[in-house]
Amino acid sequence: MSAPTTTRPSKRPTPRPNPGGLGTGARMLLSSRYASVLVTLLLLVATFAVGSVRYRGFLSGQVVLNLFIDNAFLIVLAVGMTFVILTGGIDLSVGSVVALSTMIAASLLQSGWSPPAVILTVLVVGTTLGFLVGLVIFYFDVQPFIATLAAMFLARGLCYVISTSSISIVDPFFVDMANARIPLAPGLRISPSVVVALAVVAIAFAVLHYTRTGRTVYAIGNGGQSAMLMGLPVKRTKILVYAISGLCSAIAGVLFTFYTLSGYSLTAVGMELDAIAAVVIGGTLLTGGSGFVLGSVLGVLVLGVIQTIISFEGTLSSWWTRIVIGSLLLVFILLQRALTPRRR
C-alpha cells in the first residue's frame, strides 16, 4: 500500500509595505519615464512661486503669457532640437539658421518681395540646409556634432555675405505681426507668434506619439541597429529629423523677425545652447530614445521664468541667467544618469 499523501497549504506572499502611503499608480509614475518631466514641472512651479512671493505683480496671468510671447521662437527651436536629440544626435546649426533666416527675410523685404514669398523662401532655405546636413550625416557617416558645426559656420558666414550691418524691417505685414495682440480675457493678451509656436508643438506632439515616424524616432534613439533589424525606415527618418530641425529653425527665424523687426548677422549667437539646455531640462535624454516635446516646452518656460526673476530683481547682471541655467543643466544631467538605469 502506498503512503497517504498530505496536501500542504499554499503560502500566500505577504504584501509588501507601501512606504509613505503612495498608491500603485503614483509609485509607477515616479519610477517611469515621466519622472524627469515631473521634476521639470515641479521646478517651474517652484521658481514661479519664489518669484510670486518675492516680487509684487509677479503672480499675474499676463506675466505667464509674456513667457510665451518672449520665448515663442525658442519654443519652436526646442521642438526641432527634441526630434534630433531623441535620435541620439545634436544640431549646433540652429542658432545660425535663425540668424540666416532673419537676414534673408530682411534683405528680401528691402528688395520689395512680398511677405508670403519671403516667408516661403526662408522656410525652404532652412529645410533644405537641414536636409543636406542629414544626408551628410547618414551617407558619409559623419558625426552629427561635426556636420552641424560645419553647417553652423556656413549659415553664419552666409549672413555676413548678405550684409555686415543690421537691416531694419519696415514692411507693414511684419510690423503688424510684431504689434498685434490677441485678447484672451480682460487684461490678458498673446501675440500671433505664440499661436504659431503652440501649433508647431501640437503638430510635433501628434507626429511623435501617433505616427510611425514618431515611433521610428524613439526606436533609433533606443538602438539604431535594432531599428534596422525591425525593418523601420532608419535612413529616411534620420535625414527627416534634421530637415525638421532646419524647418523649425527657419520658423523660429521668422518669429524672431516679428519680435525684433530686423535682421542681423550676430543674431542668435549661442541660441543653439539655449535650445539644447531647454530640451535637456525638459527631460529628454542626450543619448536619445526618451523624452517629450511638452517637456521641452516646460524647459523653455523654466528658462523664461529665470530670466524674468533676474529682470524683476534689477540689481543682478544678465550673466546670472547663464550661471543658473548651467547649474540646472548639470543637475538634470546627473538626474538623468540616476534615472536611466531604472528605465533601461
More confident residue, 101 or 229: 101
How far apart CA 136 and CA 148 sit, in angstroms, is: 10
| Reported confidence tier of residue 316, pLDDT bands at 50, 70, 90 | low
Helix, strand and coil in the chain, % to nearest 5: 70, 5, 25
Burial class (CB in 10 A: 0-12, 13-18, 19+), 37: buried
Q: Where are the alpha helices (DSSP H) in 171-233?
A: 172-179, 192-210, 212-222, 224-229
Cα(195)–Cα(116) distance, rounded to whole angstroms? 18
Residue 222's pLDDT band, with cuts at 50, 70 and 90, is: confident
Residue of higher predicted confidence among 317 and 172 = 172
In CATH terms, is domain 35-343 a member of 1.10.3470? yes
The torsion defined by the Cα of 248, 254, 260 and 262, in degrees rounded to 10, comes to 130
Phi, psi angles (nearest 5°) of residue 182:
-100, 115
Please check whether residue 76 is in contact with residue 197, taking contact to mean a CB–CB distance below 8 angstroms: yes
- What is the share, in percent, of the chain residues with pLDDT greater than 70? 87
State the Cα–Cα distance between residues 66 and 104, nearest whole angstrom. Answer: 27
More reliable by pLDDT, 161 or 61: 161
Residue whose C-alpha is closest to residue 283's, from 49, 87, 38, 92: 38
Return the beta strands (E) in the chain as ranges.
167-168, 182-185, 188-190, 262-263
Per DSSP, which regions of 207-318 are E strands? 262-263
> In percent, how much of the chain has pLDDT > 90?
64
Is the pLDDT at 9 greater than 70, yes or no? Answer: no
What is the arithmetic mean of pLDDT over 171-189? 94
- Is 112 in contact with 262 (CB distance < 8 Å)? no
Quickly tell me which residue has 546670472 as its cell. 320
pLDDT score recorded for residue 344: 45
Other Cβ atoms closer than 10 A to 21: 6
Helix axis angle, 234-260 relative to 172-179, nearest 10°? 90
User: Model-level pTM?
Assistant: 0.88
Instruction: For residue 4, give the C-alpha cell.
Output: 497517504
Per-residue pLDDT at 179: 95
DSSP string, 8-54: PPPPPPPPPP-GGG--HHHHHHHTSTTHHHHHHHHHHHHHHHHHHHH
Mean of the per-residue pLDDT values for the chain?
87
State residue 22's pLDDT score: 45
CA dist., res. 89 & res. 296, Å (int): 16
Spatial neighbors of 112 by CB under 8 A, at least 6 apart, are none
Q: Of the given ranges (19-33, 77-91, 303-317), which has the lowest mean pLDDT? A: 19-33
Set of cell numbers at residue 57: 505683480
Whole-angstrom Cα distance, residue 178 to residue 155?
A: 25
Closest CA to 288 of 219, 342, 233: 219
- Give me the pLDDT at residue 2, please: 47
